[in-house]
Structure 1
Amino acid sequence: MQNRLIALFEETFGRPPSVICRAPGRIEFIGNHTDYNGGEVLGAAIDRGVWVAVAPAEGPRRFRSEFSDTVVEQAGPRQREEGDRAWVNYPTGVLAGMEAFGVTAPEGFDYAVISDLPQGAGLSSSAAIELASGLAFLGLAGAELSRENLVKLGRWAENEFVGVPCGILDQGVSGFGRRDSLVHIDCRGPTFSTVPMPTGVKFWVFNTPSGHALVDGLYAERHRECMAAAEALGVACLADASLEQLENARGLMTVESYSRAKHVISEIARVGAMCAALKSGDFADVGRLLTASHHSSQRDFANSTVQLDWLVDHLIETSGVLGARLTGGGFGGAVMGLATAEFDERAAKKVSQHFAEKFGQSPQVLQLATGNGAERIV
């Protein structure tokens, strides 16, 4: 990846980069839409991600992605881009937020980015580009931020500049990831820690042909419904409420807000139960909790799809699969299955073939391993 990135940079700008950074994508292990509700989440940084190269330059800011031949130039105030140039909003949002974290953002530079994350798969390429860009811009500025503030800077870019009201899960896992571990985040702090990943299991991700898009309003709609439920309950966030309180206040909120809150409150409890199951090595309970999480997302949060539901139902009936759930924001995207070695490439191919027979297209199938968090390479 590093050589590929350098080649793109030199081809575009005629010189080598001075700073290279990478940040991983992530699997949301469990904790669907709990982060912005003040709850707990578990995620895994993966062995795929985003690589960013920069070098100082006179004149405008110039951005190049390997997925486009267009070089996007910006001069003067940082501006939001539209259409096929909208990907630049992620690094630009990081630049826009640096001052709030006490760092003077670099002005003129050349920038190139490559990725081996599939688009729209719910593996959080947005957080990866934010954290890799943040480290790269800090390198240009000769400045440093704590890991926690780097993560918060990435979230600021997503919330305040891009316009997605996400929580800290994606950036937190990409920033604090560690090989052979899960990242646990208590989002009320936020506080970050790691939980050992059990041996003998692996991640399989099935990315459906209909990728997800969170800026189209569905994510923001769920966010509003959760905030309305918290207001009706008289709590600062849904993590402060119990299912009993929710039932008692059911008549004070819409049917939609009640259902969203029911999912979030029960999902927070599942995260706690998952930590206990992982610690005890109870694979059966781990799988049960994963699948219960999906059914809650499907039934109460309404962020699943027919394709995602089919994959979960099919996977959990397949030998070697412990459990399965949608991963990421939902509304399309991908399903994660946690499996033993009994579920192999042949079994995954069979699931893919059955999916194609049902829906006319094959999902992208990825076997993923855990990886380390964001880092500066050069």
Structure 2
Amino acid sequence: MKTQVTSLFRSVFGREPEFVTRAPGRIEFIGNHTDYNGGTVLGASIDRGVWAAIAKRDDGKRRFYSKFSDTLLEFPATAPVRQTGDANWVNYPLGVIAAMPAFGLRAPGGFDFCDLSDLPPGSGMSSSAAIELSSALAFLGITGQVEKTPRETVVKIGKHAENHFVGVPCGILDQGVSGFGKKDHLVFIDCLGPRFATVPMPAGAHFWIFNTHTKHALVDGLYAARNRECMEAAKALGVSLLVETSLPALEASREKLSADAYKRARHVLEEIDRVARVTAALERGDLPVVGQLLVASHRSSQHQFENSTGTLDTLVDALVETPHVYGARLTGGGFGGAVMALTDAAFGEAEVSAVIAAYAKKHGGAKPDVLHCQTGDGAAVM
């Protein structure tokens, strides 16, 4: 992919890039909507992602090209302005530029920039975080700041961009996993710190992504609504974040919460416990127990957090009845998108075909896209 993005840069801008960077997509392994509640999560960076190429300009112009949208946009090297419509893809790198001064970093002046992705869009593997981190490393590269900027700061820049410029109230899961990923490992994040660590993945485990390409039309609003409901629950329980309370305390104060706030809080607290139990099971190499907890996570998302959909539920239902599957759950924010299946090495085309057939039978012949992916290393200058 380095050759491809370099060639793309050359064809668009007629010169060579000065820096090429890459940041991987991620699988949310377990820890659904726990991150902005101060909880813990496990994720895997994968062997696909977003590549960026960049070179400085001396005329005060910032030019952006994305292969995904096949559009070239030009802006002055002034304070970034949020874009709408077909240009909204550029809000991710623009948001990174806007965030840099908040971390004591110098924003870049003029430049030519392009990106190229081998991540399926809308697949729940957070192409947005991959764009943010590859952009951040590119901008730090051309301003001579990349070597002195801690990886944790790069991750926080990406989150700041998404929260304050793009406008999505996400936690640090996506950026943290993309930034701290390691091949053959999962990334553990204590989001209250935040604190990052890696957990070895037992040999023989495989990830399969079943992408429905369905997305609720109000997904951004629904994500924000879940965030508000969690904050409402925390306030009613007298804490700043749900991680600071417990299930017994939640039950003791149930009458103080709306029905929805109670369900959201219960999901978050039980999910934090599942993260701990999955981490312990991984350390024992007990993939069957890991699989059971993944399914329990999905059922909680389905019935308590209510961020699943009928299409995601169909996939999970089919997968848990399929040989060689340890477990399955939605991955990402939900309200559409994709399901992750954790399987053994014997899971293959026959099993995939059976799952697709079950899905097509229930959803009018529609078929999910299927991706077999592996763990990969985190964001880097290439």
Query: TM-score under structure 2 normalisation?
Result: 0.97
Q: Separation in 1 of the partners of 2:53 and 2:311?
A: 37
Report the AA paired with residue 303 of structure 2.
R
Percent of paired sites with the same residue: 60
Task: Give the deviation of 1:294 after TM superposition.
Answer: 0.2
Q: CA deviation at 1:342?
A: 2.3
- Is residue 336 from structure 1 mapped to residue 340 from structure 2 by the alignment? yes
- SS at the partner of 1:220? helix
Give the count of matched residue pairs: 377
d(CA) in 2 for partners of 1:27, 1:330: 13
Partners of 2:74 and 2:245 lie apart in 1 by 48
After superposition, the C-alpha distances for 1:41-85 in whole angstroms (9 at most, x for unaligned) are 000000000000010012321100002232111113311111111
The alignment status of 1:132 with 2:137, answered yes or no, reads no
Q: How does 1:215-364 map to 2 (within 5 A)?
A: 216-359=220-363, 360-364=365-369
Question: What SS is found at the alignment partner of 1:210?
Answer: strand
Give the conservation status (yes or no) of the 8 Å contact 2:123–2:213: no
What TM-score results when the alignment is normalised by the length of structure 1?
0.98
Whether contact under 8 Å (2:107, 2:139) holds in the other structure is yes
Whether the 8 Å CA contact 1:119–1:211 is kept in 2: the answer is no
Report the Cα distance in structure 2 between the residues aligned to 1:357 and 1:52, rounded to whole angstroms.
40
- Superposed, 1:1-378 pairs within 5 Å as 1-57=1-57, 58-75=59-76, 76-144=78-146, 145-211=149-215, 216-359=220-363, 360-377=365-382
8 Å Cα contact 1:214-1:329 kept in structure 2: no
1:200 to partner: Cα distance: 1.0
C-alpha separation in 2, matches of 1:332 and 1:253: 27
Distance 1:77 1:286 in 2: 47
CA distance in 2, matches of 1:336, 1:67: 24
Q: Deviations over 1:176-229 (max 9, x none)?
A: 000000000001100000000011110011000214678631110000000000
Letter in 1 for 2:67: E
Is there any run of 5+ residues in structure 2 with no aligned partner, and where? Answer: none
Q: Secondary structure at the match of 1:189?
A: coil
Report the CA distance between 1:337 and its aligned residue.
0.5
Quote the RMSD (CA, aligned, Å): 1.1
Q: Give per-residue Cα distances to partners, 1:220-275, cap 9 Å, x unaligned.
A: 00000000000000012111111111111111111111000000000000000011
Distance 1:333 1:368, change over 3 A: same
Structure 1 position 351, deviation (Å): 1.1
Distance in 2 separating the partners of 1:11 and 1:244: 61
Q: What whole-Å deviation, never above 9, does each CA across 1:315-371 have from its counterpart, x for those lacking one?
A: 001010000000000000000000012211221122113312321211010001000
Q: Residue 23 of structure 2 aligns to a residue in which SS?
A: strand
